[in-house]
A and B are shown apart, each in its own frame.
Chain A
Amino acid sequence: MLPDQLLFAMEVTLNGLMAGVMYALVALGFVLIFKASGIFNYAQGVLALFAALTLVGLQNGQIPFAHLINATFGTKLHHFGWTLPSVVAIALTALVMVGLAYLIERLVLKHLVNQEPIILFMATIGLAYFLEGLGDVMWGADIKKLDVGLPQGISESIESVTDAWFGYGFFIDKLDVVAALVAAALVAALTLFSQYTKYGRALRAVADDHQAALSVGISLRFVWVLVWSIAGFVALIAGIMWGTKSGVQFSLSLIALKALPVLMLGGFTSIPGAIVGGLIIGMGEKLFEFFAGPLIGGATENWFAYVLALLFLVFRPQGLFGERIIERV
Chain B
Amino acid sequence: MLYREAGEFKTSYAQDSQTFPIWWDRLWYQVALVVGFLVLPFFMTDYWANAVFVPFLIYAIAAIGLNILTGYCGQVSLGTGGFMAVGAYAVYKLMTSFPEVSIVIHVILAGGITAAVGVLFGLPSLRIKGFYLAVATLAAQFFLVWLFNKVPWFYNYSASGQITAPERTLFGIAVTGANTPAWAKYLFCAVFLFALAWIARNLTRGTIGRKWMAIRDMDIAAEIIGVNPLAAKLSAFAVSSFFIGIAGALFFAVYLGAAEVGEAFGIQKSFLILFMIIIGGLGSIFGSFAGAAFLVLLPVFLKNVLVGGLGWPSDLAAHIELMILGGLIIGFLILEPHGLAQLWRVLKEKLRLWPFPH
State the A residues within 8 Å of B (CB).
40, 67-68, 71, 107-108, 111-112, 115-119, 121-123, 125-134, 136-137, 141, 257, 260-261, 263-264, 268, 296-297, 299-300, 302-303, 306-307, 309-310, 313-314, 317-319, 325, 327, 329
Question: How long is the Cα–Cα vector from A81 to B267 in the complex, in angstroms?
Answer: 40
Question: How long is the Cα–Cα vector from A314 to B76 in the complex, in angstroms?
Answer: 17
B256 beta carbon closer than 8 Å to chain A: no
- Find the A residue at minimum CB distance from B330: A126
Task: For the complex formed, measure the closest distance between the CB of B357 and the CB atoms of chain A, giving whole angstroms.
Answer: 23
B142 beta carbon closer than 8 Å to chain A: yes
Contact indicator per residue, chain B 200-235, by CB within 8 Å of chain A (1) or not (0) = 000000000000000000001100100000000000
**B330 interface neighbour in A123, A260, A299, Cβ under 8 Å:** A123
Q: 15 new A-B pairs (CB below 8 Å) besides A257-B138, A313-B132? A: A111-B334, A118-B278, A119-B337, A123-B329, A123-B330, A128-B326, A133-B326, A134-B319, A136-B319, A137-B320, A260-B138, A264-B135, A306-B135, A317-B128, A329-B224
Residue pair B322, A132 in contact (C-beta under 8 Å): yes
B167 beta carbon closer than 8 Å to chain A: no
Closest 9 CB pairs of A and B: A130-B326, A129-B326, A133-B322, A126-B329, A133-B323, A306-B139, A303-B142, A303-B143, A126-B330
Residues from 287 to 330 in B contacting A, C-beta threshold 8 Å: 312-313, 315-316, 319-330
Question: How long is the Cα–Cα vector from A189 to B274 in the complex, in angstroms?
Answer: 36
Known: A71-B313, A297-B150. A317 touches B142 (CB 8 A): no
Residues from 137 to 189 in B contacting A, C-beta threshold 8 Å: 138-139, 142-143, 145-146, 149-151
B37 beta carbon closer than 8 Å to chain A: no
Residue of A40, A302, A318, A319 contacting most chain B CB atoms (<10 Å): A302
Residue count of chain B within 8 Å CB distance of chain A: 49
Task: For the complex formed, measure the closest distance between the CB of B278 and the CB atoms of chain A, giving whole angstroms.
Answer: 5
Residue of A130, A268, A299 contacting most chain B CB atoms (<10 Å): A130
Residue pair A127, B330 in contact (C-beta under 8 Å): yes
Which chain A residues lie closer than 8 Å to B320 at the CB level? 133, 137
- Find the A residue at minimum CB distance from B147: A303
Residue pair B127, A313 in contact (C-beta under 8 Å): yes
Residue pair A119, B326 in contact (C-beta under 8 Å): no
Residue pair A119, B333 in contact (C-beta under 8 Å): yes
Which chain B residues lie closer than 8 Å to A264 at the CB level? 132, 135-136
Specify the main secondary structure of chain A where it touches its partner.
helix
State the B residues within 8 Å of A (CB).
76, 124, 127-132, 134-136, 138-139, 142-143, 145-146, 149-151, 220-221, 224, 267, 271, 274-275, 278-279, 282, 312-313, 315-316, 319-330, 333-334, 337
Question: How long is the Cα–Cα vector from A329 to B219 in the complex, in angstroms?
Answer: 10
Specify the main secondary structure of chain B where it touches its partner.
helix
Known: A306-B138, A310-B124. A137 touches B316 (CB 8 A): yes
Residue pair A329, B150 in contact (C-beta under 8 Å): no
Task: For the complex formed, measure the closest distance between the CB of A292 and the CB atoms of chain B, giving whole angstroms.
Answer: 12
Residue of A40, A268, A317 contacting most chain B CB atoms (<10 Å): A317
Known: A123-B333, A303-B146. A134 touches B316 (CB 8 A): no
Known: A112-B337, A126-B326, A307-B143. A117 touches B319 (CB 8 A): no
Question: How long is the Cα–Cα vector from A121 to B267 in the complex, in angstroms?
Answer: 16
Residue pair A117, B136 in contact (C-beta under 8 Å): no
Residue pair A313, B319 in contact (C-beta under 8 Å): no
Task: For the complex formed, measure the closest distance between the CB of B80 and the CB atoms of chain A, giving whole angstroms.
Answer: 14
Which chain A residues lie closer than 8 Å to B322 at the CB level? 129-130, 132-133, 136
Residue pair A268, B131 in contact (C-beta under 8 Å): yes
Which chain A residues lie closer than 8 Å to B220 at the CB level? 327, 329
Residue pair B132, A116 in contact (C-beta under 8 Å): no
Question: How long is the Cα–Cα vector from A117 to B76 in the complex, in angstroms?
Answer: 11
Which chain B residues lie closer than 8 Å to A112 at the CB level? 333-334, 337
Which chain B residues lie closer than 8 Å to A261 at the CB level? 135, 138
- Find the B residue at minimum CB distance from A329: B220
Residue pair A67, B316 in contact (C-beta under 8 Å): yes
Task: For the complex formed, measure the closest distance between the CB of B284 and the CB atoms of chain A, giving whole angstroms.
Answer: 14
Question: How long is the Cα–Cα vector from A121 to B279 in the complex, in angstroms?
Answer: 12
Known: A126-B326, A317-B129. A71 touches B146 (CB 8 A): no
Question: How long is the Cα–Cα vector from A133 to B320 in the complex, in angstroms?
Answer: 6
Residue pair A129, B329 in contact (C-beta under 8 Å): yes
- Find the A residue at minimum CB distance from B149: A299
Residue pair A130, B323 in contact (C-beta under 8 Å): yes
Residue pair A117, B142 in contact (C-beta under 8 Å): no
Task: For the complex formed, measure the closest distance between the CB of A35 and the CB atoms of chain B, giving whole angstroms.
Answer: 13
- Find the A residue at minimum CB distance from B123: A314
Which chain A residues lie closer than 8 Å to B139 at the CB level? 303, 306-307, 309-310
Which chain A residues lie closer than 8 Å to B136 at the CB level? 264, 306, 309-310, 313
